[in-house]
Amino acid sequence: MQSQGVPDTAEDAPTSERERPRMLEAYGPTLDSTLAYARRRDYAGPDYGDGLSSELLQSLPFENRVLNLVVQEVVKRTPVDVRPLFRVETRRNYKGTALFSMANLNYHKLAADGTPLEAAFDPEGEARRLADWLVDERITDYSGYCGGHRHPIQHLHTKGVPEDPDIVSTAYGVKALLRASHLDDRYADFARSAESFLVTDLNYREGEVGATIDYHMNHPEDSYTINAAAVGAMMLLDLYEHFGDDGLRERATKILEHVAWTQTDVGGWPYRLPADASHLSMDSHHNGFVIEAFQRYREVVDDDRFADTLEDALTFYREELFELDGAPNFDEASAYPRDIHASTQGMLVFTREGDLEMAERILRWVLANLQVREGQFYYRQYRHHTKRVTLMRWCQAWMSYALSEFLLAASDEGDHRIEPGQHP
């Protein structure tokens, strides 16, 4: 990484520092309009894999796994949005709501710091309202706080149901509640109990190298989802930073020790182990999740423990999963489809590295290729067509969160980005 030393003159400043005012002025309106798009719809909309919420499918007097898969994949993969045809119910996504809550808190901080934004609404009030919803809509009857998708999902061998919590949805709910804890003390209390969900319900277990957890309650026993474990470790790190409990740090360390042990020689991670247990290979946004977990460990616990793992991962990520113009590759072997979630995760990773130039390059590619109109984004670009669907969580929530993090880093107060346990 480049030296973080203070330059002697403005001419000596890195490009990212010299151009921070330009970045804020150029992209502030995009954050305004992205959040406005979601706010007008009360943060509800189409979601990835929501085909089983089809009222037509639910009206059938029988259920069939193959039919479920067909409807789900047709809704997911058709180049235009066929959800109205199948009468798919739109709703809030749990993880998406957490992202919107954090984006609104970031917006509040940016507006308070003088970033040119419209601010014709109460972003902190929006963040509180969404955090309240995360509490009210949590999944109960488990060992601790948890959340999950709010529509059923048909997997090849099992069916995920709305009452089936998962670590990824839970982790982002925890992050959002901790960031909003200065608004209501009970948010942190709920978040703290998520450790019990991870340890007890997701079967935290130590092995020969580190520790592992399950992705969700009905995960196949013959495979292991790597990025989900990394996100679980990141959740424990968020809790550790807020509460200072050494047990949280120790469990996070053991999970990341196992994740580091599974890193391939090229620096990336397959979606699952064994690798042939999933159709996904070393895809972009899931590798970004893993990298962000190691970045978080570096920030909260130890600069050096996983330094080599992180260095190799970032090299692979930059060189194999992104083009020079900022376009995201789908995985190590395929450029297409170019996915907006891969782009937003890339913005988060490079922003956390202090590489605002690369983060902006990715953002500019998205604005040129996946933006419908200012503040509304499409899902994917294929080689010969674009998936002309705006998904509320996958497109709008991730873009609002990633863009708000990028703008905070670009602001004069960028070093004071709101993290769990830090009050604005």
The reported pLDDT for the residue numbered 119 is: 75
Instruction: Decide the pairing of beta strands 205-206 and 211-212.
Output: antiparallel
Please give the model's pTM, rounded to 2 decimal places. Answer: 0.92
**Lookup result for tokens 């990824």:** 168
Question: What residue spans in the chain does CATH classification 1.50.10.10 cover?
Answer: 16-51+89-413
The alpha carbon dihedral of 166, 171, 176, 180 has a sign of positive
User: pLDDT tens across 370-408, in order?
Assistant: 999 999 999 999 999 999 999 999 999 999 999 999 999
**If you average pLDDT over residues 77-88, what whole number do you get?**
89
User: pLDDT tens across 324-358, in order?
Assistant: 999 999 999 999 999 999 999 999 999 999 999 99
**Which tokens go with 175?**
């992050």
The C-alpha atoms of residue 160 and residue 65 are separated, in whole angstroms, by 12
The reported pLDDT for the residue numbered 193 is: 98
**Which tokens go with 201?**
């319900």
**If you average pLDDT over residues 285-291, what whole number do you get?**
98
Mutual angle of helices 185-192 and 167-179, in 10-degree steps: 150
Is residue 129 scored above 70 in pLDDT?
yes
User: pLDDT tens across 192-213, in order?
Assistant: 999 999 999 999 999 999 999 9
Q: Beta strands of 113-208 (E only): which ranges?
A: 153-154, 159-160, 205-206
The C-alpha atoms of residue 275 and residue 320 are separated, in whole angstroms, by 18
Strand partners, 45: 91
User: pLDDT tens across 316-327, in order?
Assistant: 999 999 999 999
The reported pLDDT for the residue numbered 14 is: 53
User: pLDDT tens across 155-204, in order?
Assistant: 777 787 777 899 999 999 999 999 999 999 999 999 999 999 999 999 99
The C-alpha atoms of residue 279 and residue 413 are separated, in whole angstroms, by 42
Is residue 416 scored above 60 in pLDDT?
no
Is residue 244 scored above 80 in pLDDT?
yes
Answer whether 71's CB lies under 8 Å from 52's CB: yes
Mean pLDDT of the chain: 91
Answer whether 249's CB lies under 8 Å from 233's CB: no
The reported pLDDT for the residue numbered 9 is: 38
The C-alpha atoms of residue 63 and residue 195 are separated, in whole angstroms, by 35
Instruction: Tell which CATH classification among 1.25.40.10, 1.50.10.10, 3.40.190.10, 1.10.3210.10 matches the domain 16-51+89-413.
Output: 1.50.10.10
The C-alpha atoms of residue 137 and residue 104 are separated, in whole angstroms, by 19
Band of residue 363 on the pLDDT scale cut at 50, 70, 90 = very high
**If you average pLDDT over residues 282-286, what whole number do you get?**
98
